[in-house]
Chains A and B, each alone.
Chain A
Amino acid sequence: MNPFDYARAADPAEAVRLAGARPNTKFLGGGTNLVDLMRETIETPDSLVDVTGLSRRIEVLADGGILIGAAARNTAVAADPAVRKRFPMLARAILAGASAQIRNMATVGGNIMQRTRCCYFYDDAARCNKRVPGAGCDAVGGFNRMHAILGASPACVATHPSDLCVALAALDAVVHVEGPTGGRTLRFIDFHRLPGDRPDIETALAADELITAVELPPLSAAARSTYRKVRDRSSYAFALVSVAAALDVAADGTVGTVRLALGGVAHKPWRAAKAEAALHGAPATEASFRAAAEAELMDAVGLPGNAFKIELAKRTIVATLAGLVRGERS
Chain B
Amino acid sequence: MRFIINGQSVERALDARTSLLDLLRDHLHLTGTKKGCNQGACGACTVLVEGERINACLALAVQYQERPITTIEGLGEEVALHPLQRAFIEHDGFQCGYCTPGQICSAVGMMAEAGRGVPSAVTADLDGDSVDLTHDELRERMSGNLCRCGAHNGIIEAIQAAMAPAPAQAAPVKEDAR
Query: In the complex, how many angstroms separate the beta carbon of A2 from the nearest chain B beta carbon?
Result: 8
* A104: contacting residue among B53, B123, B125, CB under 8 A: B53
| CB-CB under 8 A for A32 and B144, given A79-B117, A101-B106, A329-B125 | no
Q: Across the interface, which residues of B come within 8 angstroms of A101, CB to CB?
A: 40, 43, 46, 53-55, 106, 109, 144
Selected A-B contacts with CB under 8 Å, 12 pairs = A28-B63, A39-B38, A52-B63, A79-B119, A85-B127, A98-B40, A99-B43, A100-B120, A101-B55, A102-B55, A102-B144, A330-B124
CB distance from A304 to the nearest CB of B (A): 26
Bound Cα distance from A236 to B109, whole angstroms: 17
| Contact pick for A31, options B59, B118, B121, CB 8 Å | B59
> Is the Cβ of A3 less than 8 Å from the Cβ of B121?
no
A100 CB contacts on chain B under 8 angstroms: 53, 106, 109-110, 113, 120, 141, 144
Say yes or no for A286: interface residue by CB 8 A criterion. no
Which of A30, A100, A330 gathers most chain B CB within 10 Å?
A100
B121's partner among A5, A30, A35, A92 (CB-CB below 8 A) is: A92
Q: Which stretch, B13-21, B76-84, B89-97, touches the partner chain A? A: B13-21
Residue of A5, A31, A85 with most partner-chain B CB within 10 A = A31
B contact face: mostly helix, strand, loop, or mixed: loop
Which chain A residues (85-112) contact chain B, with CB distance < 8 Å? Answer: 85, 88, 91-92, 95-96, 98-102, 104-105
B59 touches A84 (CB 8 A): no
CA gap between A32 and B37 in the complex, in Å: 13
**CA A185 to CA B139, docked complex, whole Å:** 40
- Given A98-B144, A101-B40, A101-B54, list of 16 further CB < 8 A pairs? A1-B17, A3-B15, A6-B60, A6-B62, A30-B59, A31-B58, A32-B40, A39-B38, A75-B52, A79-B116, A79-B118, A81-B129, A92-B126, A99-B43, A101-B46, A104-B54
A59 to B43 alpha-carbon distance, docked (Å): 32
Q: Is the CB of A50 within 8 A of B126?
A: no
Q: Cβ of A95: which chain B residues have Cβ within 8 Å of it?
A: 119-121, 123
Nearest chain-B residue to A122 (Cβ)? B39
Residues of A within 8 A of B54 (CB): 101, 104-105
Task: Please give the residue numbers on chain A whose beta carbons come within 8 Å of chain B beta carbons, in ascending order.
Answer: 1, 3-6, 28, 30-32, 35-36, 39, 48, 50, 52, 75, 78-79, 81, 84-85, 88, 91-92, 95-96, 98-102, 104-105, 235-236, 329-330
Q: Is the CB of A84 within 8 A of B16?
A: no
B interface residue numbers (CB < 8 A to A)? 15-17, 19, 38-40, 43, 46, 52-55, 58-60, 62-63, 106, 109-110, 113, 116-127, 129, 139-141, 143-145
Residue of B nearest to A96 (CB): B121
Q: Enumerate chain A residues within 8 angstroms of B40, measured Cβ to Cβ.
A: 32, 36, 98-99, 101-102
B38, B52, B117 — which one has the most chain A CB atoms within 10 A of its CB?
B52
Give the residue of A4, A75, A102 whose beta carbon is less than 8 angstroms from that of B113: A75
Are B55 and A105 within 8 A (Cβ)? yes
Chain B residues whose CB sits within 8 angstroms of the CB of A32 once the complex forms? 40, 55, 58
Residue on A nearest B15 in the bound complex, by CB: A3
* 8 tightest Cβ-Cβ pairs between the two chains A and B: A99-B144, A235-B143, A6-B16, A84-B126, A95-B121, A79-B118, A236-B143, A101-B55
